[in-house]
Amino acid sequence: MQRHPFPDRAAALPIAAIQTARPDAASAPSALEIKQARKAVSAFSLLWTLIFVGPNAVLFTIFIVGPILAAFGLSLFQWDLITAPQFIGLDNFAFILQDSRAINSIWRTGYLLVAGVIPTVILAFLLANLINTRFPGYSVFRTFYLLPIVISFVASAVLWRFIYDPRVGALNAILGYFGVEGQNWLQDTFWAMPAVSLVIIWMRLPLAIILYLAALQQISPQQLEAAEIDGATTWQKLRHVILPNVKPVTFLVVVITVNGIIFESFDVIRVMTGGGPLRSTEVLIIYIYEMAFGQLRLGYASALATVLFVIVAALALLFTPPRRRIGARP
């Protein structure tokens, strides 16, 4: 049987057209015809690539890359939106090192990341495993855990602000039933950040659970059966079969959660605490907003945003190891 020169179906179309056009459709195409067909395929593929990828690339450049580059540039200036921008070089970055409030906001961001990412990853993994067991009523539970996705960040923050109210909030009422004294959660410099972290974990869990659930359902049942036959305990199956298979998803969940916490925490913190009390919840994104729009120091705010970009990029690279080590796409 004559072997098709191009296994790719799309690439085969021009060949098929040549073959059907020729009087003798069974004869092989010439080298020139093959070359022409390859060119046509290449151009054809390129055209479709441009059609599908192009709009996204254009929009990405205009709305993501462009503003990032503009922010880099603005960080070298002093500008208040009213007078003309004044070039000051790296002075804004030098000031960050002396600005105790900026240092505090970076530390607070790190606190929120640790307090938000680790519990999100662990809880999401455990809950996904629980749902995967398809226990009775799991479909109802599945509906409830997806609820935070459909509620806006601001609405969530308002809701939780009410829950945390020391006088009428549900949290202190529930704790009271167990004889535990409730706190003034959002007005306590110690408890405010954990209170905010809990809200962010609650908001990030649904997406993380969905990702883990999809990964768990991709695990080959034969692997698990083989492990059972070999006498593996539940813990051994988890450690030697499940965890290695969901490792790529874990990295993805970490990256997505880090990104979400850094940027989406603005809505929650702004509504719930405004960065207080005593700047105990003033993360970098809140401070950037205050500098940019509260004090109209757009150059300094851009410098802070540049620092934030570097932090996020570093974390993303850290949690996205080379593919050959993972061995599979997430």
Partner 1 sequence: MTTVRKILHSGTSRRTILAGLAAIPLGFAAGRPAFAQSQTLTIGILDFLELSLKPVFEAYQAARPGTLIEYSMLPSTGAELRQTLLTRRISGTLPDITYLADIFSTQFAEAGITTDMRAFLTSGGPINEGSFAAPFLGQYLMAGGDLQGGIFGLPYGADTVVIFYNKTHFDAAGLPYPDDTWTFEKQAEVMRALTVKDGAVTTRYGAAINVPWHATYVPGIEARGDTLLNDEGLYKLTTPAAIETFTSLWNLVNEGVLASETQLRQQGGTLGAFTSGTASMFQGVRAHVPSVRAAMTDDWDVALVPTINGVRKTGMGSIAQAITPSGQANNPELAYDFLNWFYSEDGGMKVLTATYGVVPPVTELFDSPIWLDLPGPPYDNRVFSESITFGTMNPTQIPASVQSVVDSQLRVAEEAVTLTGADIATSLAEAEAIINEAMALELAQ
Residues of this chain that interact with partner 1 (CB under 8 A) are 80-83, 161-162, 164-167, 186-189, 273-274, 276-279, 290, 293-297
| Residue 280 CB, nearest approach to partner 1 (Å) | 9
Whether the ω angle into residue 14 lies within 30 degrees of 0, i.e. cis, is no
Q: Which two tokens stand for residue 267?
A: 């809505």
Q: Which helix (H) or strand (E) holds 87?
A: strand 86-87
Helix (H, G, I), strand (E, B) or coil at 263: helix
In the bound state with partner 1, the residue whose beta carbon lies nearer, of 36 and 78, is 78
| Strands, E assignment, the chain | 77-78, 86-87
| Residue 81 CB, nearest approach to partner 1 (Å) | 5
| Residue 40 CB, nearest approach to partner 1 (Å) | 47
Helix (H, G, I), strand (E, B) or coil at 77: strand
Whether the ω angle into residue 277 lies within 30 degrees of 0, i.e. cis, is yes
Q: Which helix (H) or strand (E) holds 42?
A: helix 31-60
- The alpha-carbon radius of gyration of the chain (Å, integer) is 28
Q: Which helix (H) or strand (E) holds 199?
A: helix 192-218
| Residue 51 CB, nearest approach to partner 1 (Å) | 32
| Residue 184 CB, nearest approach to partner 1 (Å) | 8
187 near 277, Cβ under 8 Å? yes
| Residue 57 CB, nearest approach to partner 1 (Å) | 26
